[in-house]
Amino acid sequence: MEIFLIKALQLILALSLLVLLHEGGHFFFAKLFGVRVEKFYIFFDYKFALFKFKPKNSDTEYGVGWIPLGGYCKISGMIDESFDTEQMKQPAQPWEFRTKPAWQRLLIMIGGVLVNFLLALFIYSMILFYWGDTYIPVKDMTLGMKFNQEAKSYGFRDGDILVGTENGSFKEFSANLYRDISEAHRVDIIREGKPMSIQLPGDLNLLGMIKADPSFVRPLIPAKIDSVLSGTPADKMGLKKGDCIVAVNGAAVDSYNEFIEQLAHRADMLATATTLSDSLKARTVTLVYEKASQHDKRMAQRDTAMVVLTPDLKLGFVVQSLADIYKPVTIEYGFLESIPAGIMYGWNVLASYVDDLKYVFSAEGAKSLGGFGAIGNLFPAAWDWHIFWQMTAFLSIILAFMNILPIPALDGGHVLFLLCEIIFRRKPSEDFMIKAEYVGFGLLLLLLVVANLNDVLRVLGLL
């Protein structure tokens, strides 16, 4: 419950900040051009608001709604999500949105997107200035990688050290590494100390590479125990720091990766168990582990033990993280250096996100859509300001891009109609705008339902 609350608080804080500044962008340009803003709300206030106030001699009511699905800035004389058609029937007033020149209305509409995009670049710049860029170079991962069967069919072997592609060297192990491999025609590696290359088609399915179980490639992590959790099966069987798992049920394992894969086979057995006896059988495994001698670290002793795993198939030990195995490097930036570096970083994030959108229109891509649960899980279980600001910047870029899409009810829909007005010198009718707003709002509601339904299905294990 504590983990849920920490993630939820981070999500609410990030979204509140992004919505506040997004709507603030619309508010700024509206006030700049003398357009009246009737309401400025964080979250939606259907029927009632958690908090609201209206300063003396102000036309704007400020408040916090109770539905945490965004926020809005109600601008006079504009057809928006408030669907205030009665106002549009009244004579146009000089302080209304509809009476302003098209170029002013255009700036008012892109104000939110502009603020979100600039905010993301600013946050990325300040992250680089304050924390620097810390990562583990892929070329330094001297234990190499573990590959799944698809990767091995192209010629990769477990233990290969990835170097780069024809487009450049790999930086760190992240989604960008998968993307580079998916688009590569040649991947350079080091195998048993010798440089060589793997030829690829150049159009591998990125989503499939990541979602495969096991995934296309992942760092090889030794099955060497770093710590044992008290009261767990590992503790009861006497496993200690430094011990190494070498076999599970007679199958040799050369890494923690393979150990996890072996336990995944037990998960399939457990899923089909119909009796307590079947369940116990699925949870019972025979382990062979190597114990380092307390007197001579060069000597090793192998022991065998039969152990019953926890109901969720855990043994109860922790292995070293990548940061424990390899030494991370940190690139530090001065204030002026961080600005162009942050802009470049943010631009690359946006370009990668846009490139990945093509997968949304596939069956697997639709299943990958996530709602508030999926977004919340992007935040860490313990409060970490570094990761919090990284995620906030990422969400700000997503919010900016999604809002500029030419869909009615989004800023991009209004921008599209304004551009048509500027080009053809004719406004769409108010009746058309209202109908388009309803259609766009319906599409967004459908997308929201599908994304959050996916979250529920994942929790239930049905997706």
Residues 123 and 406: their CA atoms lie apart, in Å, by: 26
Of the ranges 4-13, 384-393, 421-430, the best mean pLDDT one: 384-393
What CA–CA distances, in Å, run from 462 to 309, 455, 459? Answer: 24, 10, 8
**What is the model's pLDDT at position 165?**
96
Query: Quick check: 299 pLDDT over 60?
Result: no
Digit-coded pLDDT (tens) for 221-249? 999 999 999 999 999 888 889 999 999 98
Of the ranges 69-73, 85-89, 159-163, 441-445, the best mean pLDDT one: 159-163
Phi-psi region of 426 (alpha: psi -120 to 50; beta: other; left: phi over 0): beta
Mean pLDDT of the 194-203 span: 95
- pLDDT tier for residue 449 given thresholds of 50, 70 and 90: confident
| CB-based contact 401:350 (threshold 8 Å) | yes
Digit-coded pLDDT (tens) for 70-104? 788 889 988 766 556 666 677 878 889 989 998 99
**What is the model's pLDDT at position 298?**
56
**What is the model's pLDDT at position 31?**
93
**What is the model's pLDDT at position 461?**
67
Q: What is the mean pLDDT of the chain?
A: 88
In the sheet with 194-199, reading across from the earlier edge strand, the strands are: 168-169, 161-165, 186-191, 194-199
**What is the model's pLDDT at position 80?**
67
**What is the model's pLDDT at position 93?**
85
Mean pLDDT of the 354-358 span: 81
Query: Quick check: 295 pLDDT over 50?
Result: no
Share of the chain above pLDDT 90, in %: 51
Share of the chain above pLDDT 70, in %: 95
**What is the model's pLDDT at position 452?**
80
Query: Quick check: 296 pLDDT over 60?
Result: no
Of the ranges 27-36, 40-49, 348-357, the best mean pLDDT one: 27-36
- pLDDT tier for residue 392 given thresholds of 50, 70 and 90: very high
Mean pLDDT of the 133-162 span: 95
Strand 251-252 and strand 329-331: the pairing is: unpaired
Reference 246, options 299, 285, 290, 283; nearest CA is: 290
**What is the model's pLDDT at position 463?**
64
- pLDDT tier for residue 407 given thresholds of 50, 70 and 90: confident
**What is the model's pLDDT at position 434?**
76
Query: Quick check: 65 pLDDT over 60?
Result: yes
Mean pLDDT of the 132-138 span: 95
Reference 61, options 39, 86, 33, 88; nearest CA is: 39
